[in-house]
Structure formats: C-alpha cells, structure tokens
C-alpha cells in the first residue's frame, strides 16, 4: 500500500494550517474525501440531478440507476443477502434510532432486557434508554475489564433468556477495543435475542461480513469512510425489516393512500420517506469503489502497524496515560497528559498544524468509568504515516513545555 500515493488523492490534506503542513488525526470523527468521491458528487449534480423513482424522463432514470446502484454496492460491501436489506439514511445515529423506534419499542415489554456496554457512544445508548423507559424493559450493561475490553464470560452472565436485544459497538471510538461480535451474536441468538451493531468505527477500517458475523442489524455512516456527510445505511435481516413499521411517513414510502388509511411499499423503500439523500448515496458508492481498490485488509494492516508505532512513541513520553487495550486494537490512541486539559492539548497541537479531537467523545459514562472528564484522541486512516505520528509526539513534548509540566 503506497500511502503517499493515496494521500495525493485527498486534496484537503495538501495545505498548511497555522504555518505548518496539515496532519489530520481526527478520522474517528470524520474522514477526508478522495478526489474520486468529490468528482462523483460533482458529476451527479452537473449531469444527473433529478428526483428518483418518480420521473420517467432521462435524468430521473439516470438518478434512480445511480441511487439504486449505490444500494447494490453497499449490499456487496457488507455481504448482505440482498440489496432489499439496505436502508439509506443520515448515518449510524439514524440507523440505531430506527431500530429502537421501529423494532424495539414494538416488541419489548415489561420484564424484557436490553443489553449494551459502558463503552457505547451516546448514539448507541440513549435510544435504548428511551426504549426501556417507553416499554418497561430493563437496561443492562456487560461490565468492562480493566483494559477496556469485555470478557465472553461476562457476556454469558449478562445475556439471559429474558434478554430480547443486544446492542454493541464493533469498535469503541474511545478505547479502540475491537469487540468479538460473532461470538456475542451467537450468545445473543442462543438466548433468543437479536443483536444490533454500531458499525461507525469498524466499517471504514475492517472487512465487514454481516452474514459471517450473523448480526441482525448493522448501522454505519458514510462520512467516516471517505463518503460525504449526511449519508449512511442500516442493514437488517429481511424477515426483521418486514416486521418493522416505518417511523417517518410521506411520499415515496407509500403504496396506496386512502382518505383514512394507507399501505406501505416493500422494504427497503417503506423506510425511506421523502426525497432521499441521492447525491450522498452516489458519493457513498464512489467511496466504496475507492476503498475496495485499496483493499480493506490492506487498510487494516496499515492501521495496526501505525497504532502500535503510536503506542510506542506516546508511551515513551513521561506523563502520558494511554487508555484501552495494548494489543488487538483499532487505529486510534486516546490519552491524557498529566493534569493538562485535553482541550488545551488540542489547542497547542492545532498551532502546530495537527488536528486531533478532545472532549468526552459522546461517551460520558465511559469517561466516568475511566475517572476522567475528557481525553485527547488521535485517530488514523489509510493516508496517515509514521511521520504524522512523529509530528504528534514532538508537538506533545512542546505542549508539556508550554504548560510547564513537571513530573511527580
């Protein structure tokens, strides 16, 4: 994998920020976009822009073909059984909320259990809190090990025959933990539960096979995997989607409308009311083409090498505490530096042209478990290099000096 050649495909990376060449290390929040994706969206607006599924004119047909073609690409990318199992939406948050509202609230009852973990992003926590409140179900948590992983023994103890739904992030956006989804799915199914997976941090970096994992629902966002913002998808097994009711009503998702009643289209269209995110879907399809041309396995190997290099560099700096497992982790490093606030660290790094994320990362319960108010996070992608990590480490040493850090 020629990282420098790949980096050349991303126009935004070739600029100076505050007088320094940009080092972009905020990929867990959003990735940058290659020229092929930018051009695909531009080409759609210049040549094919029309509404889908409605017009019989040429532009409408071309727009529909591009939109539904993107759905086929997503289905192949995830190895879904059919494109009917792919619902386009705004992203992971929308997908998880659709399952919580369209499925969980309709099947859960008092005494049922929802099982999640303390490492979940708020998007995979709050919908289940609300579903539990609305139905009388109980929300339960698989405990974390000291290194931020979960043990299968604890999974076995927490999931019971009363558990009806399990929802887990494939990859933690703070700890970098890669959860054993296939094994959790097996335990959930053995107890009669369905499993929902937050794939926001896994889909851009790992080869995902929803059938091999045997997950029931899988949500992800396009903007973290080189696609435009505002587009994502929910995978769901067809038999479950058939049982679900839509949560948004209007044009496009209907079959027949009478004065006092209506019927819905087949899946997936019954969940896509209104004009869909057509240009976003076109961009997502182009992003999939780009990632497949590089190879997800190659991206995974590159990031694993890079994160181990980063762990070694940052751990050698006195005062830095790195969170999450040392081995078998995704390509991000979350850390604190003594008592310097992470926002101050991020400000100093920005002055050096280095973009990282600081805050609670939409994981406030996890921050409390870590006994911190906030952390700094450097997250990597296919265009990052060891030189980027060196720039990060050097800037952190400058931050120590700037704030007058003293060893204990």
On the CB side of 283, CA atoms within 13 Å amount to 26
Which pLDDT band holds residue 407 (cuts at 50, 70, 90)? low
92 and 15 both lie in a single domain: no
Model pLDDT for residues 15-47, shown as the tens digit of each residue: 999 999 999 999 999 999 999 999 999 999 999
302 and 388 both lie in a single domain: yes
Residues 370-380 have a mean pLDDT of: 97
Catalytic residue list: 362
**Whether pLDDT at 328 is above 90:** no
Residue 176 belongs to domain with CATH number: 3.40.640.10
Residue 408, domain member (yes or no)? no
Residue 152, domain member (yes or no)? yes
26 and 42 both lie in a single domain: no
Last residue of a domain, one of 293, 320, 338: 293
264 and 141 both lie in a single domain: yes
Query: Are the C-beta atoms of 267 and 243 separated by less than 8 Å?
Result: no
383 and 284 both lie in a single domain: no
Q: In this predicted structure, what is the pLDDT of residue 402?
A: 86
Model pLDDT for residues 146-168, shown as the tens digit of each residue: 999 999 999 999 999 999 999 99
What's the rounded Cα separation, in Å, for the pair 114 and 128?
7
Model pLDDT for residues 65-102, shown as the tens digit of each residue: 999 999 999 999 999 999 999 999 999 999 999 999 99
**Whether pLDDT at 406 is above 80:** no
289 and 311 both lie in a single domain: no
- As a whole number, the mean pLDDT across the chain is 96
Model pLDDT for residues 177-228, shown as the tens digit of each residue: 999 999 999 999 999 999 999 999 999 999 999 999 999 999 999 999 999 9
Q: In this predicted structure, what is the pLDDT of residue 38?
A: 98
211 and 239 both lie in a single domain: yes
Q: Which domain holds residue 396?
A: 3-31+295-402
Last residue of a domain, one of 248, 272, 293: 293
Model pLDDT for residues 246-256, shown as the tens digit of each residue: 999 998 899 99
What's the rounded Cα separation, in Å, for the pair 35 and 380?
19
Q: What DSSP designation does 231 have?
A: -
Buried b (16+ CB within 10 A) or exposed e, 144-182: beeebbbeeebbeebbeeebbbbbbbbbbbbbbbbbbbe
183 and 310 both lie in a single domain: no
Model pLDDT for residues 91-131, shown as the tens digit of each residue: 999 999 999 999 999 999 999 999 999 999 999 999 999 99
Last residue of a domain, one of 244, 261, 293: 293
Distances in Å between the alpha carbon of 296 and those of 2, 48, 263, 301, 325? 14, 30, 41, 9, 22
What's the rounded Cα separation, in Å, for the pair 12 and 24?
10
Residue 247, domain member (yes or no)? yes
Residue 384, domain member (yes or no)? yes
Residue 299 belongs to domain with CATH number: 3.90.1150.10
Output the pTM of the full model. Answer: 0.97
125 and 150 both lie in a single domain: yes
Number of domains in the chain: 2
Q: What DSSP designation does 172 have?
A: -
255 and 310 both lie in a single domain: no
For residue 85, give the nearest of 285, 222, 281, 233 by alpha carbon.
233
């Amino acid at each position: 994998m020629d990282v420098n050649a790949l980096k050349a495909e991303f126009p935004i990376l070739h600029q100076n920020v505050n007088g320094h060449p940009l080092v972009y290390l905020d990929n867990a929040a959003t990735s940058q976009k290659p020229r092929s994706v930018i051009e695909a969206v531009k080409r759609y607006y210049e040549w094919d822009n029309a509404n889908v599924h409605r017009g019989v004119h040429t532009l409408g047909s071309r727009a529909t073909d591009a939109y539904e073609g993107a759905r086929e690409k997503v289905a192949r990318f995830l190895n879904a059984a059919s494109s009917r199992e792919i619902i386009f939406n705004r992203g992971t948050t929308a997908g998880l909320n659709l399952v919580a509202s369209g499925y969980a609230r309709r099947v859960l009852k008092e005494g049922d259990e929802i099982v999640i973990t303390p490492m979940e992003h708020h998007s995979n926590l709050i919908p289940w809190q609300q579903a539990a409140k609305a139905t009388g179900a109980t929300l339960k948590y698989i405990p974390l090990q000291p290194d931020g992983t979960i043990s299968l023994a604890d999974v076995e103890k927490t999931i019971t025959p009363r558990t009806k739904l399990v929802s887990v992030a494939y990859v933690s956006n703070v700890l970098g933990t890669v959860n054993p989804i296939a094994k959790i799915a097996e335990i959930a199914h053995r107890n009669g539960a369905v499993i929902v997976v937050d794939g926001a941090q896994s889909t851009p970096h790992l080869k995902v096979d929803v059938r091999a994992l045997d997950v029931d629902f899988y949500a992800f966002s396009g903007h973290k995997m080189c696609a435009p913002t505002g587009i994502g998808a929910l995978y769901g097994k067809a038999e479950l989607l058939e049982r679900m009711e839509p949560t948004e009503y209007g044009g496009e998702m209907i079959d027949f409308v009478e004065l006092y009643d209506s019927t819905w289209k087949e899946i997936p269209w019954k969940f896509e009311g209104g004009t869909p995110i057509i240009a976003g879907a076109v961009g997502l399809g182009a992003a999939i083409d780009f990632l497949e041309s590089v190879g997800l396995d190659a991206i995974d190997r590159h990031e694993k090498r890079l994160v181990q290099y980063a762990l070694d560099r940052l751990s050698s700096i006195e005062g830095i505490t790195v969170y999450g497992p040392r081995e078998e982790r995704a390509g991000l490093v979350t850390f604190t530096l003594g008592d310097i606030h992470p926002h101050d660290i991020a400000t100093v790094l920005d002055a050096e042209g280095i973009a990282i994320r600081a805050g609670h990362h939409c994981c406030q319960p996890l921050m409390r478990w870590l006994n911190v108010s906030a952390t700094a996070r450097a997250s990597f992608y296919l265009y990052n290099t060891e030189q980027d990590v060196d720039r990060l480490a050097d800037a952190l040493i400058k931050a120590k000096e700037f704030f007058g850090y003293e060893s204990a």
